[in-house]
Amino acid sequence: MHASTDLRVGLLGYGIAGAVFHAPLIAATPGLRLSAVVTANPERKAQVAADHPGALVLDHADQLWTEELDLVVVATPNRTHVPLATEALDAGFAVVVDKPFAPTAEEARKLTEHARELGLPLSVFHNRRWDNDFRTVRQLIEAGELGTVHRFESRFERWRPVPKAGWRELGDPAEAGGALYDLGSHLIDQALQLFGPVRSVYAELDRRRAGVQVDDDAFVALTHKSGVRSHLWMGAVTPQAGPRLRVLGDRAGYTKYGLDGQEDALRGGNRPGGPTWGVEPSELSGQLGVDGTLRSVTSVPGAYQDFYALMRDAVRGEGHVPVTPEEAIAVLEVIEQARAVA
């Protein structure tokens, strides 16, 4: 495919994932064009028309398979990820699946093999690899600033004492709901990217709020084959948040508070492209060093837009997918181990 031709993208779903993340990032990526969106919800249809007036709005996924597209993005409830991604591959399209990749690692492996047999690119939207904090930590580790890392602590904590209605709160395992699948997918992926595969998993999964069907408070401890121990917290019942990251090495430590601001920026209608995109306020800079001799480290800017730029190149045959299916399967394997031991 000629590089000057925009790739035509079809988006399945226009909930939070589709409307806040995928559609804006696709629209902001040179070489991609949001051609069609599938949603049966009348309010969401109207929102698509307002947000992306050039996109065709369809009621059902079946209508998408006959469109002239190059890439399909599956941003629907978790239980539909595998069947819809399978149909998209069968229709001849490259595919991006929102995380979690699938409800089970076995389903994800079968889908990966199917894409391989068809020779089509398949990737998973682990966008938090492009958070400012993760990018900064990876840079510090690679530069040797921390020495040999022995402990990694990471948190995605929220205060939502009243459960929200929706499929993420449903207890059927096919829904892949709860904090571990939702926030944990990101934290586990980041830990695996930094420190490699694990040899053991410990977990605590709890339901703290009245009437909830899925875990809303979770802790996962990973012992990596490299020797690093990762402690990961995630949940909706945290009235006082701990540090977003604390990384300890034999030379120095790094502690960082505050979440990456790209999600809030996207929700507010901002888009990648300007010089300030992903740039964090200096007061949120992490601290590097040893107690008594700490210095602030300006965070590497967040860059969610890089995911779709890499995916564009992969579809054109000019590079690799930004997140491989095998990497996403490894995350699901850890989640399954955590659920088994909790």
Residue 257 has what pLDDT? 97
Residue 167 — very low, low, confident or very high, per pLDDT cuts 50/70/90? low
- Upper half-sphere CA count for residue 86 (Cβ side, 13 Å): 13
With pLDDT > 70 as the criterion, what percentage of the chain qualifies?
98
| Structure confidence at residue 168 as a pLDDT band (50, 70, 90) | low
Output the pTM of the full model.
Answer: 0.95
Ramachandran assignment for 38, one of left (phi > 0), alpha (psi -120 to 50 degrees), beta (any other): beta
Residues 200, 226 contacting (CB under 8 angstroms): no
pLDDT at 236: 93
Asked if residue 2 has pLDDT above 60, the reply is no
What's the whole-number mean pLDDT along residues 91-105?
97
Average pLDDT over every residue of 242-253: 98
Q: For residues 140-150, give the mean pLDDT.
A: 98
Instruction: Please tell me whether residue 241 adopts helix, strand or coil conformation.
Output: coil
Instruction: Please write the tens of the pLDDT for every residue from 185-207.
Output: 999 999 999 999 999 999 999 99
For residue 255, what pLDDT is reported? 98
User: What is the number of H-type helices and E-type strands within the chain?
Assistant: 11, 14
Average pLDDT value over all residues in the chain: 95
Give the H/E segment covering residue 156. strand 149-157
Q: pLDDT category, 175, cuts 50, 70, 90? A: confident
What element of type H or E holds 163? none
Residue 203 to residue 132: CA distance in whole angstroms? 27
Question: How far is residue 44 CA from its own chain's centroid?
Answer: 22
Q: For the residues 103-114, what does the mean pLDDT come to?
A: 98
pLDDT value for 119: 98
Q: Are 272 and 124 in contact (CB under 8 A)?
A: no
Q: For the chain, give every domain's residue range.
A: 7-127+307-320, 129-303+332-341
> What is the number of other CB atoms lying within 10 angstroms of the CB of residue 118?
13
What number is the average pLDDT over the span 89-94? 98
| C-alpha–C-alpha distance, residues 194 and 308, integer Å | 22
Res. 77: pLDDT tops 90:
yes
Residues 6+ apart with CB under 8 A from 195: 149, 152, 224, 226, 228, 230
Look up residue 158 and give its DSSP letter: -
Take residue 49 and report the two structure tokens written for it. 């028309």
- Residue 72: its pLDDT value, please? 98
Interval 22-50 mean pLDDT:
97
In this structure, the dihedral spanned by the alpha carbons of residues 67, 71, 77 and 80, taken in order and rounded to 10 degrees, is 70
Residue 201 CA to residue 334 CA, distance in Å, equals 7
pLDDT, mean of residues 328-336: 98
Instruction: Give, in degrees to the nearest 5, the angle at Cα 12 between 10 and 16.
Output: 120
The secondary structure of residue 22, as a DSSP letter, is I
Q: Which residue has the tokens 């944990």?
A: 184
pLDDT digits (tens, 9 = 90+) for 296-324: 999 999 999 999 999 999 999 999 999 99
| Residue among 264, 304, 308 nearest 284 (CA) | 264
- pLDDT given for residue 114 in this prediction: 98
CATH code: domain 129-303+332-341 is 3.30.360.10
Q: Which CATH superfamily is domain 7-127+307-320 in?
A: NAD(P)-binding Rossmann-like Domain (3.40.50.720)
Least confident of 55-69, 157-171, 190-204, 248-262: 157-171
CB within 8 Å of 341: residues ≥ 6 apart: 201, 202, 203
Q: Quick one: pLDDT band at residue 4, thresholds 50, 70, 90?
A: low
**Residue 330 reports pLDDT greater than 80:** yes
Nearest to 29 by CA among 200, 291, 271: 271
CA distance 319 to 322: 9
Which amino acid makes up residue 69? L
